[in-house]
Structure 1
Amino acid sequence: MCGDGKYGKLCIDDNQITTPMLVLAFVEKSLKVQMVSCGGNHTLIHAEPVENDLSNNSLQQIKSSDSLPPLRVSKKIIEERKENIEPFASITPANDKDSKVLNIIKESAKVILYSIQYDYLLILVVMYNIVFFLLLKISGNQHKYDR
C-alpha cells in the first residue's frame, strides 16, 4: 500500500503534483502491475512480484503507447434514481404469487435504472406495462380487459 488517500499522493513524495507522472515505486519494488482501477477519489493497483528470470525480459520499459489518457466519468446520482423507483410502491399485489413477481420486477427495475444514465423515464413506462400485463396474466383477470 502506498499513498495516504489525499489528492496527488500515489506512491510519490510530493503531494502538490497535479499532472500525470510515471510512478516508479512498483519497478523499484520488483512488482509487475496486473490491473488498474481509477475512481473519483482512489486509484487501485493490483501488482504481483516479478519472477527473477531475466531471460524473459519481464522488466519492460513503459512506452507512451502503453498508456491511455484519463477519461472524465459522469457522476452517478443514486438518490435521484431511487425517487424514480417509488411509483412501484403504489401497485398492490392480489396474492403472494403476484407479490413475488412484483418484487422481482422491482429489483430488475433498480438494476436497469442504476446501470443506465439516460432515458430512465422511458424504462419506467416500459416496466409499468410489463408489471400491469404480468399481474393480469398471473391473477387470471385478463378476460375483464378484453372488451
Structure 2
Amino acid sequence: MKKTKLIFFAVSFLTCSATSYANSIAPQSVEAFVTAAQKDKIVNVSPNSKGLDVVIVDSTNVMDAKLSESLPIYDQAIFGTPRNYQIQMITKVKRWTEENKTRLKDASKNVAKAVTYQITEVPAIVINQQYVVYGDTVSSAVNKWREAVKNGEIK
C-alpha cells in the first residue's frame, strides 16, 4: 500500500512539475503580424511584454489614407488655377513624406519581415522566429507554442 501511494505521489509530482514547467517557459520573441484593424483584438497581452513586437502590415495603407484625407479637394475660389493647386499639393505631399520618412522606412521593413517569414495571411504570430500560428491571439498562440514544446514537437 505504501509503495502504491509513493508511486502515485511521484507520478503526480512529475506531471505537475512538467505542466508547471511548460506554463513557466517563455518565448524569446513574439512577433504579431496584424492589420491596424486587428491589432487590439489579436494583441491581447500588454504591449510592453518582453520580446513582443507588433508588426502592422498595412501601416503604409493607413498612412496613405490619412494623407489623402488631409488633402483638400480642388476649389477654384481657394486655389485659383489647377496648376496652382497641383503645386501646393505636391509641396504638401513632399513635406508629409519628409516628416514621415522614419515611419515609411519602418513600414517597408515590416513588409520585408513578413515576406522573409513567408507569412501568407494575417493575423500571424511568429514565436522565436520559427513557430507560426495563423488566425489566433498572441496569448493563445503562445499557449500553443508551450504545448508544442511540452510535447517535444519543437525545441
**TM-score scaled by length of structure 2:** 0.23
**Structure with larger RCO (C-alpha < 8 A, sep 6+):** 2
**TM-score scaled by length of structure 1:** 0.24
